[in-house]
Every structure is written in structure tokens, then in C-alpha cells.
Amino acid sequence: MSEITVALVQMAPQLTQQEENLRTMVSYVERICHEQPVDLIVFPELITTGYECGLRFTDLAEKVTGHTVSMLAKAAADFSVHVAFGMVIKEKVESILYDAAVLVGPDGELLGEYRKVHLRGEERMAFRAGYRLPVFETSFGQVGLMIGWDLAFPEAARCLTLDGAQLICACANWEQQQLDEWRAFCIARASENSVFLAAANRIGEEPSYTFGGESMLVGPGGDLHTIVDEGIEGYAVATINLDQVRRYREERQQIQCRRPEAYRAVVRKY
């Protein structure tokens, strides 16, 4: 399947109100899928809990096979749709937490999880950094996941691209005053890798932050297929053709003309 329909959900989670947020997410899945067939729905980062949970993250964290994943997997199976979303997960050791993104498939199966590699500011106090950038196989193609500040690091999207990603889902909590940066990173990561980028950013206010939205689906040429307005709660839907990824890469030769032997400094610590 080369042509797929993608929905980006832009919502404001209620801080620490996990069940309420899950109900809202499921209602979005139901509403979107009742209005038109879609293949993939993307939600923002930490959308099940909110961002400024502090020590409460320990209580709110779940294992990947827990209640949150089961509830959204059921919604995905009910409507035969892929769903990507952000949540806080924990390991067997209760104190080890990760800011994560999860992808579930149209049969309700867990396709994979990603743990945020690039933690920013106070995130380092709550979470442990991930160290892998996996690509997941779906019925329509290869999908990579990124979270928030990962977008600021070109190496992350490039690694996913080199491992075969045709579409990258970015779940984000990007601040309103930094939306110029958000727009620039989204367009750059898509165009420099000739890849589709489905970037879902939350809105709303928390004690120290105001989040800006402007969720967007960017094509491999840096073109905007759809965008949700700044600060608006809702969703946007677009149909894309993943064959464009191959076409753009053949035309531009950006991936083929790389010179890895000249890039030793990229993996050198600062």
C-alpha cells in the first residue's frame, strides 16, 4: 500500500488525569474513523499524563503491556487503524522511567515502542534516556518514531532514514514561544531526508509552560500537506503517497551522495 491517510491529533491533556485523557484519545479515534477511513492516527508526547507531573510520573508510569496500551490497542483494533502516541513507561525496576512513544497496529497488536533519546532540561530528572532509534514494519511501510526535542538533532531522523523509514511520526510537547524553531525543524528533517514527517504537537497550559500546537504533516520535498492552527484543539487529515519518498530520493540523490568517511566528527563527544 503506497497511498495512506494520516490524522494528526492536537489536544490538551489534563495534568495527571490519565483516565480522562485516555477517554479523550479514544473518542478522537472513534470520531476520526467514523468520518473517514484512516490508516494512521498520531497523538502528541506524554499525552496520557501531561508534561509537568514531577514525582507523580512514578505513579502514572506503566509497563508497555499495561492498561494504557491495552485500551488504545482495542480502539485501534475496533477501527482497523494504526495509532502512535506518547506516554511514560517503566521497567521492572519501578524507579526507572522513560518518556516513550508507542505504535499499535490495526489488529490491536503492539508494533513497537521508542524511548526518547534526547532529554531536555528537567526531563533528565524524571526520565532515563533511551539509546536506540528503531524502525517498525507496518502494513503500509517502514515507520520511525521520534519524541519532542529529538527533532532538534538531525542525526536522529537521519538514522531512521538510513534504516529504511519512509514515514517518521514525531510526538511532541513544543512550547508556544518556540514555534518558529518547531516549524524549521519539522520542514528540515523531512526535506533533508526525503521522508514524510507526521508531527503531532500538544496545546494547553501547565504551571510553567504554554504549548503551541501547529501539528503538521510534511512531505519529502518540505511541502506542507496539512497543518493544525496554533493553539486550536482538533485534528487534521491528509492522504499521502509513500512512493514519493523513493522518487524524491532518486531525483535529489541526497541519501546516495552522502560521504560517511568524512563525517567522523558527528559521533565525537563535544
Contact in structure between 189 and 165 (CB atoms under 8 Å):
no
The CATH number fitting domain 3-267, selected from 3.30.160.160, 3.60.110.10, 3.30.420.40, 3.40.50.300: 3.60.110.10
What ranges do the domains of the chain cover? 3-267
Sheet holding 167-172: strands in order across? 135-137, 142-147, 167-172, 196-201, 216-218, 224-227
Q: Which residues pair with 204 in a beta bridge?
A: 211
| Stronger pLDDT, 91 or 215, i.e. the higher one | 215
Q: What is the pLDDT of residue 270?
A: 78
What Å distances lie between residue 11 and 15, 137, 228, 270, CA to CA? Answer: 12, 27, 11, 37
pLDDT at 52 over 80: yes
In the predicted model, what is the mean pLDDT of residues 108-136?
A: 96
Q: Would the CA dihedral through 2, 106, 199, 128 be positive or negative? A: negative
Binning pLDDT at 50, 70 and 90, where does residue 236 land?
A: very high
Binning pLDDT at 50, 70 and 90, where does residue 136 land?
A: very high
Alpha carbons within 13 A on the beta-carbon side of 122: 8
Shortest CA distance to 95 belongs to which of 57, 134, 139, 138?
Answer: 57
pLDDT at 1 over 70: no
Binning pLDDT at 50, 70 and 90, where does residue 231 land?
A: confident
Contact in structure between 203 and 223 (CB atoms under 8 Å):
no
Binning pLDDT at 50, 70 and 90, where does residue 269 land?
A: confident
Please give the share of the chain, as a percent, with pLDDT higher than 70. 99
Binning pLDDT at 50, 70 and 90, where does residue 2 land?
A: confident
Binning pLDDT at 50, 70 and 90, where does residue 242 land?
A: very high
What Å distances lie between residue 60 and 65, 128, 147, 173, 207, CA to CA? Answer: 14, 16, 19, 18, 18
**Average pLDDT of the chain to the nearest whole number:** 95
Shortest CA distance to 89 belongs to which of 128, 119, 62?
Answer: 62
Q: What is the pLDDT of residue 130?
A: 96
Q: What is the pLDDT of residue 267?
A: 84
Q: Burial level of 149, CB count in 10 A (0-12/13-18/19+)? A: buried
pLDDT at 158 over 70: yes
Write the pLDDT tens digit of every residue in 202-213. Answer: 999 999 999 999
Write the pLDDT tens digit of every residue in 70-110. Answer: 999 999 999 999 999 999 999 877 789 999 999 999 999 99
